[in-house]
Structure 1
Amino acid sequence: MSGQVYIGTSGWNYDSWRDDFYHGIPRKNWLRFCAEHFNSIEVNASFYRLQSKETFRRWHDATPADFRFAIKGNRFLTHNKKLADPLPAIRLERDHARGLGEKLAAVIWQLPRPFRKNMERLQLFARALESWPRARHAIEFRHDSWFDDEVAACLRTHHIAVCQSDAADWPLWDAVTTDMVYVRLHGHAVTYASAYGTRELGQWAKRIHRWLKQGRNVHVYFDNDALGAAPRNAQALAALAGCN
């Protein structure tokens, strides 16, 4: 049994892409253009500002029927509250994201780099995510105190994926805890800026093929957007993975 792979970028509304990737296309059509080149995209803006249901519905209507979104959980819960009292924030985000309908595939929750392992908070958060069963969830840990068997067991119990997060400024945890694998590629040499070369992309393509053969769904999003590498890298990986 083979899984499904989704490859795209983390966000699409970047001025630095205007003259290269978008080559003169009006900003209002940028999402539609991305949806012609990728089968999924990660919404990065939702981390900074809670998006309205109407905005999500507009994005839903601007993309093909088989296109999928991943959204980034708002930083109020992950960074301000550090997962404390999670249920109200999760319910609010869930209700807004209903505007994406069936096109919402996953939610990525990024923890702050200084936030060390706290099992009480993680277990509370994991249980609260059960109130949002229609979306799959992944957590991006940026401190290696989380990288252990106890955390992995908690995630397996609650069907939450580890986000394999590649960057120059924090370590990557390559644990696989569910039938979904979630990968964020921020730039291996220079976080948010450096491009991935053919050899690196080939290594990720091999991992994708292995996960797919195991029946897992795979999400990969490029966040090395600062100098415009993300869309080109996403296109190249999609070709290597055989999904374009």
Structure 2
Amino acid sequence: MSEVFIGTSGYSYDHWSNGVFYPPRLPKSKWLEYYSEHFQTVELNVTFYRLPQEKVFTGWCEKTPDAFRFAVKGSRYITHIKRLANLGDSLETLAKRLKLLKEKCSVVLWQLPPSMKIDLKRFDQFCRQAEKTICKRQAFEFRNESWFTDEVYDILFKHNFSLCLADAPQDIHEPITADYVYVRRHGPSGLYEGNYTKKHLGRDTKNVLKWLKDGKDVYIYFNNDVKGYAVKNAKTLLDLVSLGVKA
């Protein structure tokens, strides 16, 4: 049976404390546990900037319920510096950390830089290597429009990897290239800003219900963390989808 996982991109924001989301005086060490009482998934962005120590991954796993799921953003060293090639043991190192999350590691997200243009050979080679090394579900967020071609989609289809459906800088809503769907909502007023309207969330709800009906798992993460809108929008979408599923 297909499932939907709705949460936020990151959870450790100081501006979410003092009642915006986290209760006043709740220590940071308890934030993930509190978050997991409200959502069953989170997209980890810290892994894009640096690879935390093993004990951090173990802690994430231990602090969350059995049904909780993590999406993990791949290292910018791999995507932005090495640009998917000549990676050495980088993928293997990441894979060892991901294993510490056990079955809670659901998807790895790769975000390519805006300056990186399409390179089909390099991309296919990376997908082959990543499929052998990393978890089965992986999503790709392209920031350069040259990647939005049938040739790229064919590679994603071949590996059962998801095209990330993001709304910035381009608004991408198709195609679906895997047996799961990965969506990022960056903010209606620019990156990380703004509050999505109920009309917009209603459209997302219709899409989610269709994808679930088609037998696809769905992952949606809100990245508009300013003023805690990501939390508000994720909660609203959860409620709307729940009502739709029950109906």
The TM-score, its normalising length taken from structure 2, stands at 0.94
- Residue 79 of structure 1 aligns with which residue? 80
C-alpha distance in 2 between matches for 1:76 and 1:128: 16
C-alpha distance in 2 between matches for 1:91 and 1:43: 19
1:118 alignment partner AA: D
C-alpha distance in 2 between matches for 1:92 and 1:192: 30
> What does the per-residue CA deviation read over 1:143-174, in whole Å, with 9 as the maximum and x for residues that have no partner?
1111111100011111111000112x334252
C-alpha distance in 1 between matches for 2:107 and 2:235: 21
- Residue 231 of structure 2 aligns with which residue? 231
1:155-170 → structure 2 map (5 Å cutoff): 155-167=156-168, 169-170=169-170
1:98 alignment partner AA: K
Off by >4 Å, runs of 4+ in structure 1: none
- Residue 47 of structure 1 aligns with which residue? 48
- Residue 62 of structure 1 aligns with which residue? 63
RMSD between superposed Cα atoms in Å: 1.5
C-alpha distance in 1 between matches for 2:188 and 2:143: 14
CA contact 1:79–1:112 (8 Å) conserved in 2: yes
1:123-138 → structure 2 map (5 Å cutoff): 123-132=124-133, 134-138=135-139
Secondary structure in 1 aligned to 2:61? helix
1:197 alignment partner AA: T
Cα drift, residue 87 of structure 1: 5.9
1:1-244 → structure 2 map (5 Å cutoff): 2-19=1-18, 20-24=20-24, 25-86=26-87, 88-132=89-133, 134-167=135-168, 169-242=169-242
Unaligned runs of 5+ in 1: none
C-alpha distance in 2 between matches for 1:133 and 1:156: 17
C-alpha distance in 2 between matches for 1:48 and 1:173: 27
1:203 alignment partner AA: R
Secondary structure in 1 aligned to 2:184? strand
CA contact 2:162–2:181 (8 Å) conserved in 1: yes
